Structure 1
Amino acid sequence: MEDLAAPVEEDFFTTLVRKHMPTTQRIMQKAKGCLIYNAKTAESVYSTYHDNTEDLASNVCDMLVCIARNAVREVNPIDELRFLRIATKDYEFLIAPTDEFVILVEQLDPSKQPVAATPNAGKKKKPK
């Protein structure tokens, strides 16, 4: 009789990341930091931050999401918050709250990102 090992079942987070891998990779190329935590327990699932920063970020994120959700419901009681973007002079914070997880991505302000040089950059065309 053969002993076949039962297939290992992936957790929800791993399945979610696999499903959205191209998007995740694109986002992480510009990310300065990332935090994914359980919305119900506030337990970190993935983080690029230190413990103290992680706790502070999740607490502030929860407050911002709560305020934004309330503002959305004031305007339309049946609508719900899907995405929150906060841009400062130097950074941009992208927050995607769901029922199970909250995803926070911190990236440098796009205007501060280095631009790849192109061969014709800075050259003026000669008039004909």
Structure 2
Amino acid sequence: MAQEVEETMKRIQSHKGIVGTIVVNSEGVPIKTTLDNTTTVQYAGLISSLADKARSVVRDLDPSNDLTFLRIRSKKHEIMVAPDKEFILIVVQNPTD
């Protein structure tokens, strides 16, 4: 499993414009990252909290539904979030690339 995660992160990281990737557990604690520690902790905490809120909204609208992907675009970055049962994959990229 760990090897599969490593290969996936390397494949994602090889794409043009990718700033970094983070895998966090269900509590928002970073497990793997390609970013520096300060940036990782900031993104992990804030994005996992946002993903929880987004998942809650989706379930409030339809209890049989679930959040599968979340994309946030700002002037500086685009953040793609793929939540799973136990982990959340966060990918940060430059939006112009």
TM > 0.5 fold call = yes
What residue in structure 2 maps to residue 15 of structure 1? 4
Measured against aligned partners, the alpha-carbon deviations of 1:15-72 in whole angstroms (never above 9, x if no partner) come to 3555xx4x962x32131111112224x3422111221221111110111101101110
The whole-number CA distance in structure 1 between the counterparts of 2:6 and 2:85 is 16
1:66 maps to which residue? 52
Quick one: which of 75, 90, 94 aligns to 1:104? 90
Distance 1:43 1:14, change over 3 A: farther
Higher strand share: 2
Q: TM-score, normalised by structure 1?
A: 0.65
**Unpaired runs of at least 5, structure 2:** none
- Report the alpha carbon displacement of residue 99 of structure 1 after superposing the two structures with TM: 1.0
Residue 33 of structure 1 is matched in structure 2 by 20
Give the alignment's Cα RMSD to 1 decimal.
2.0
Question: Normalising by structure 2, what TM-score?
Answer: 0.83
How far apart are the structure 1 equivalents of 2:29 and 2:23? 9
Q: Which moved more, 1:92-101 or 1:46-55?
A: 46-55
For CA contacts below 8 A with separation 6 or more, give which structure has more relative contact order. 2
Count, aligned residues? 95
Larger Cα-atom Rg: 1
